[in-house]
Structure 1
Amino acid sequence: MQEEPEVKDESKTPRRKHRRGLTRIAAACERCRRRKQKCDEKFPTCGPCAAVGANCVLSERLTVVAQASPDGDDALRDELRHLRAQVTDLSQRLAQEKERSASVTQNQELKHDSTSPWTTGQPERLGNAGHEAASAVKRRQSEFEQGYYGRILRPTFGTAHQSRVDAGDKSSAWSLWKDDHSVETPSEHPQAENIASHEDHGLALTNIFFDQRWPHLPILHKPSFMRERFEPFARGEELSGVGRLQLFMVFAIAALEQSRVKGKHSYSHRDLFNIAIRDLNSVLTSEDPECITSLLLLCMYGRTEPQSVNMWHTTGLALRIAIGVDLHRAESIRHMDLMQAEMSKRLFWGVYAMDRSMSIYLGRPLGIQDADINLPFPLQLTDEDLENMNHNTVLPRTRADVKDMSTFIHLIKLRKINAEIYRTFHSVTTNYLSGAELDRVRQDLYSQLNEWLITAPRYSFTTSMFQSPEWFQTAYHLAVISLYRPSYAQATPSIEALQLCADSSISLISCYGSLYAKNKVSYSFVALSAIFMAAVTMLYSLRASPQVRKDLTRQVIETNINSSLMLLRGISNGREVAERAAHVIQGLGNAVLSLFDNEGLHRTNTGNDANEKQNVDREFLSWFGLKSRMMKATAPAEIQGEQIQFPELGNMDGSDDPLATLSVDMAWEDLFAQGFGMDSSTGMDFFPHSGF
């Protein structure tokens, strides 16, 4: 009988930790190897890592490497390893992008979806914990919007109670726009998302933007914009939040331009803007260049709709971000390729130009000084040049092209001159120069302005207002007015300065009239302020100087007054602010025209006449932002052999000098020509502070 084999009791036999013949994972991932757990080697994410949502990184420590064969297996293996690393990297980036998109979508649904349980608060679906979570999300979102979203969308010009500074001590823009609520509220549910696929209107608006507004601020690269923004949207693909905002801001800005010509299928720029700002919360979380670009697009829109965008805050935010990443330094672009370097230069100088414009028009400090900037200007290249040109063979164009940087570069040069004029003559704490030194500085700046005008680029044909000869003329004359009009450095201009002010003011009104006649001028608060300031300066020069009045006739002055009124009302499209400006010009114009009547020139000053002239003179300097400086002069003056001093006023600049001197020249001499009584008058009585 055959003996049966003995059966061993496996329960009593110790298990071997490593038995021969078991399959061993060839390449466990880093996490599984570190935790000494079994890895199923799934690619690109193994099972254990996927279960906990961990980052799965392949490891080569346990990989059995075969001997190299002479047929090139090593090269194939290296290529495979490289491709696997690329796939892993792309998978991680895709997961991050999906997570970010899901977060943005969730925030939007919490705000807009009325059927969501987060907004309806159904207890059977949420429970107490759900209610608390929903409240926390809403609270965080509300805090986020109040801190950034709402601040960017506040009006540029606040109401009177928001500032204790008298409007007469600010620029004309503040006084014109304060308490202006004439801009209508955009609709809550605009229906314009399908604009890109509706009769090519999206493409038409995009071309309008790049043809008409882009030359003034070329912060977008058109081929890249079309490839990354417009074309995917036209195909119905989903864009990122910042991409969608930039696309619809381009549409909204172009719709502003198109509003001059009422199209059959025109879209409301306010509806398009309202769609764009749905993604405003994604701007401040985007990369720095994209964030700056988005903020500047908001500013471009805000030039026309100052009640929709806080220009000062938004421009300052863009400038601070740009400085924070050293865009103002040439060293920041040293290791960039041609495309990155040129777009960085365009971006910074775009912020620079916007900052200079806003600071000067709003009467506030410059955001950065020229001495802190060593970044060169952009090269005079077109977007197509950047797209196709080898960076080793960059040759800027020798002739101006409507699609290159010639307009933008020339604008930057002007903003540099504007900033120097503002810093020297209009800063609140400007140092008073001697008469000879002040004349020397002014003459040097005037020469720079003349050279700038002479070297302005010329184009055979352009559809952009910013590339027309009239626009270069208006920018030049506006700078001349700023250089020679009453300022903190010199409150009482000379006869020559008044003559230049009158000539430039009349020329500026004429140039804007030419643009308006060609239907090329677009409404913006900058354009309206320029026309208004030109009219005020023209009337002031006539009011202050008999010599200027002698060179003109009453009919000529009436024509220029009527032209300015027509322009103010024509370009504003019925806005309340234009009527305010027209009312001021009409009143000052009537006061100045009375000087051309014989009885107005020779009659004796009665009490009523003197008070009326006081009010007119006070109002003129109030529009120049000099209300608090009207008693402060650059040099003593004598009236009938006596120097007038007002010890009770003290010094307007806060120094210890107890005396303030009133300087009287041609602007005020007719107030005293007939013996206006000063015995019982103080400085405060002479120039009452009840503003216009």
Structure 2
Amino acid sequence: MPKRQSLGRASAACTFCRQKKLKCDAVKPTCGNCIAKGIDCQQGPAQHKPRPTNQRIARLESENAFLRQRLQTGDTPVAQHGAPGFSVEQASSPQPPCSVGSPMSGPERSIRTLASVGTRGSHIPAEPPASDPRGNVSLYHGPTSTAYYETSSPQQHNGQVNDFHAMEEWSGHLLFAQTAKERQLERLNLIAGRLDFDGVDPSIGMELLSIYWSRQIYTAQIIHRPVFMRDMACGGPYFSKLLLNSIFFVVSKHCLRPEVRTDPDDINTAGLMYRQRFVELLRDKFDKSEITTIQALLIMSNALFSRCDERSLSWLYAGNAFNMIIDLGLHVLPSTNNTSAEQLEIRKRVVWGAYSIDKIQCLLQGRPSLLRKRDFNTPLKFLDEYDELEQFDSISYKKNHQQLGIPALNVSLLTKLCELSVIIEHLMCEVYSESTPNARLSQKMNVCERIKSDLSQWRKTLPPQMDYIAHSGDPGFVLPQALCLLALCNTLVILSERPFITDSHSSAIVAHESITASTAAANQTVQILRDYAQHYSIGSAPYVLSYATYVSATIHARIVAHKGKGSVSFQSLIFCLNTLEEQKDIYAAAIKARQNLDRLMDHLGVNIVVNDSTSGEICRNSVQLQTVHDESVATPNKTQAVGTTFVENGFPQTNWELSNLDLDAILQGFLLDRDGQFPLYPMGTL
């Protein structure tokens, strides 16, 4: 027998060779698992499967428990993200399916059965409870907290990052199908009497809900309609009477029914009973972090500011909603293994809707931002696109309820609003914050230039259906929400140019260029207002249009102070004043804006008397505006809209009376802003 070679690792040998310390050719190399346990290895390391991690074991145990419960109830497991699987949340807090109430017979029973089956088939368990019932433990803790348990993200293993992106399209199709099914079930549930209107007549309740779904995108879209209406029929977790009454209150002023008013002849009493009911229900919900409570507080906050001018209460409601968002951890994108596609969609809509509401309110009130984009990682991509091509409902935008046959584009509008909100955050935090007056002029100017570039890029990415000015479209086929976005964009242009005008260290050339850009943006805002008034009821327009009207009027007032009443700016100023006058019945904040304009005109020595007859005449007959065509700034081969030229950066600007302005004289009118704090805000002072 030949002498065997010595081997240092005796564990990788048979018993005989290990005792003789010889090299063994009969046994394959031992795997690390067997070495650690000190046992003979029967297989090579290539044939050994890796040991399961604690995280995988926990997930398998959750899936096992979930399957056992499903087998007991007889339900079919729900796929998440469009793929078979289960979630920890589903296993830990499964929700019972909607059940049919008392026994029935005949057609009513058939309808209820269909509604119940549809609801059961599309039901996805809700978010886990906001707190641990044993210790009221918050759901979210950051890495600095002692309650934070650091584990590796499941998306970092087994190529799940790529799987997540691959599943997005499938998940979008799944959500689209579920939404289509739930929308069909809405009518069935209404007929069967399964919808909970909290004592309100169903016909009135459905009309109020229809108005709400067609109203402002950033308040309506924070509620995912299919799950709200589904759970409204079965008492699910995404419906609450608190949320329902907040919806009724915010849209009651847009409803012509006398039943929604305490005094049928006084529009200011519309929805007061819903607000009282909201306050009653809030006592039991204010100390619990729930998604429906967040949505209700945000909706009510928006209404209290624009409609009631209750700024402090509005601010406090919004602040509590933002705190609940953090408490529930909605600002953190959860693992794909732990959250269903429907839950992810709800979380994204709540977070981004809250973010937009925060930015709009901060812009209107001149207050610091509370939610920062850097503090959450929720992607700006909505997967449920059912509302994108659904027919737009003009129920609260036109005096005669006429279907226009155009798509609602709700998903695109919401996405573009969120993108614009990110720019608003930069403007508020880096230009109009308390620390910016001490910042260097060059630093502030660089920020303003970046913001103007971002606004130009945002405008370029708008589809033709949303920017009729740049694409020479018919304003009659433009959505009212799209007109509001265009007006808001022009407002941000004016706000980004203001520091170049009011800063005493700016050169005259820079200040003159900013005055020209601000005047062009103000002119385009008036063009948008006229087109809106021609096709829709401007008295019930979203309040963001009132704010754009106010900012535009501050520019026109300064031009009128120099050029007098024979200018086009004088007619534009009157139109802006009349617009705010028509909106005073709906929005108390519009009254504040008009009062602030009156003070500004007193400073400038501009005296204008506006009466009701003038208001009606101007709104009915659009004033002809002259076009000043500047060949030096026009882009070749570009079709031009009325009164519009396209500058090099692609941002359309309206040049009415910009050729013969005494910019030095107009600049003196802007110097009034230097002593004021946020003078371009309706709530500010001059």
Q: TM-score if structure 2 supplies the norm length?
A: 0.50
- Structure 1, unmatched stretches of 5+, are 1-77, 87-91, 95-191, 233-237, 386-399, 544-548, 596-612, 628-690
* CA-based RMSD: 4.5
In structure 2, the residue matched to 1:301 is 303
**Does residue 471 of structure 2 align to residue 471 of structure 1?**
no
- Find 1:538's aligned residue among 539, 546, 556: 556
Aligned ranges 1:240-259 → 2 under 5 Å: 243-258=240-255
For 1:500-515, list aligned pairs within 5 A: 500-515=517-532
Give the equivalent residue in structure 1 for 2:276: 274
Mapping 1:69-468, distance limit 5 Å: 83=72, 194-197=199-202, 200-214=203-217, 217-229=220-232, 231=233, 243-258=240-255, 262-263=256-257, 267=261, 268-307=270-309, 310-331=313-334, 335-382=338-385, 402=408, 404-430=410-436, 438-457=444-463, 459=465, 468=481
- Contact kept, 8 Å, 1:477 with 1:507, in 2: the verdict is yes
Letter in 2 for 1:455: T
Matched, 1:485 2:488: no
AA of the residue aligned to 1:381? D
Contact 1:296–1:351 under 8 Å retained in 2? yes
The secondary structure found in structure 2 opposite 1:533 is helix
1:336 aligns to what SS in structure 2?
Answer: coil
- Output the CA distance in 1 between the equivalents of 2:244 and 2:476: 22
The alpha-carbon deviation at position 330 of structure 1 amounts to: 2.4
| Per-residue deviation, 1:483 | 0.5
Partner of 2:434, secondary structure, is: coil
Structure-2 separation of matches of 1:538 and 1:220? 39
How far apart, in 1, do the equivalents of 2:214 and 2:458 lie? 24
SS at match of 1:561: helix
TM-score, normalising length: structure 1: 0.50
SS, match of residue 353 in structure 1: helix
Distance in 1 (CA, whole Å) between partners of 2:532 and 2:365 is 25
Q: Deviations over 1:53-93 (max 9, x none)?
A: xxxxxxxxxxxxxxxxxxxxxxxxx999974999xxxxx99
Q: Within 1, Cα distance between the matches of 2:601 and 2:589?
A: 18
Change (3 A) 1:418 1:614: closer
**AA in 2 matched with 1:564:** C
User: What does the per-residue CA deviation read over 1:419-476, in whole Å, with 9 as the maximum and x for residues that have no partner?
Assistant: 1122221111127666555444323321211221232245599999975442122011
Q: Aligned residues: percent identity? A: 16
Matched, 1:569 2:581: yes
1:242–1:282 contact (8 Å) kept in structure 2: no
| Residue of 543, 549, 568 corresponding to 1:556 | 568
Q: Would you say the 8 A contact 1:329–1:373 is kept in 2?
A: yes
Conserved 8 A contact 1:477-1:508: yes
**Residue 614 of structure 1: how far off its partner (Å):** 14
Q: Secondary structure at the match of 2:357?
A: helix
| CA displacement, residues 152-172 of structure 1 (integer Å, 9 cap, x when unaligned) | xxxxxxxxxxxxxxxxxxxxx
- 1:242/1:280 contact within 8 Å kept: no
CA distance in 1 between partners of 2:568 and 2:484 (Å): 23
Cα 1:288/1:239, change in 2 over 3 Å: closer
Measured after TM superposition, the shift of residue 536 of structure 1 is 1.9
Distance 1:445 1:81 in 2: 53
The aligned residue for residue 49 of structure 2 is none
* 3-state SS of 1:485 partner: helix
For residue 357 of structure 1, report the CA deviation from its aligned partner: 1.9
Q: Could you say which structure has the larger radius of gyration?
A: 1
SS of match in other structure, 1:330:
coil
Q: Could you tell me how far apart the structure 2 residues matched to 1:221 and 1:241 are? A: 9
The one-letter code matched in structure 2 to 1:201 is I
Say whether the 8 Å CA contact 1:256–1:269 is kept in structure 2: yes
Contact 1:222 1:383 survives alignment (8 Å): no
Counterpart code for 2:357? M
Within 2, Cα distance between the matches of 1:228 and 1:436? 54
C-alpha distance in structure 2 between counterparts of 1:406 and 1:324, whole Å: 29
Deviation of the 1:337 alpha carbon: 0.8
Structure 2 letter corresponding to 1:376: P
Q: Compared with structure 1, are the counterparts of its residues 615 and 556 closer, same or farther at alpha carbon in structure 2 (3 Å cutoff)? A: closer
Give the counterpart letter for 1:536 in structure 2: T
Alpha-carbon distance in structure 2 between the residues aligned to 1:581 and 1:406: 30
- CA gap of 1:303–1:577, structure 2 versus 1, over 3 A, is closer
Deviations 1:105-134 (A, max 9, x none): xxxxxxxxxxxxxxxxxxxxxxxxxxxxxx
Instruction: Tell me, in whole angstroms, the C-alpha distance in 2 between the residues paired with 1:464 and 1:210.
Output: 19
Conserved? CA contact 2:362–2:369, under 8 Å:
yes
Do the aligned residues in 1 keep the contact of 2:522 with 2:556 (CA within 8 Å)?
yes
Q: Which consecutive residues of structure 2, in runs of 5 or more, have no partner in the other structure?
A: 1-66, 76-92, 96-196, 262-269, 389-405, 467-473, 608-665
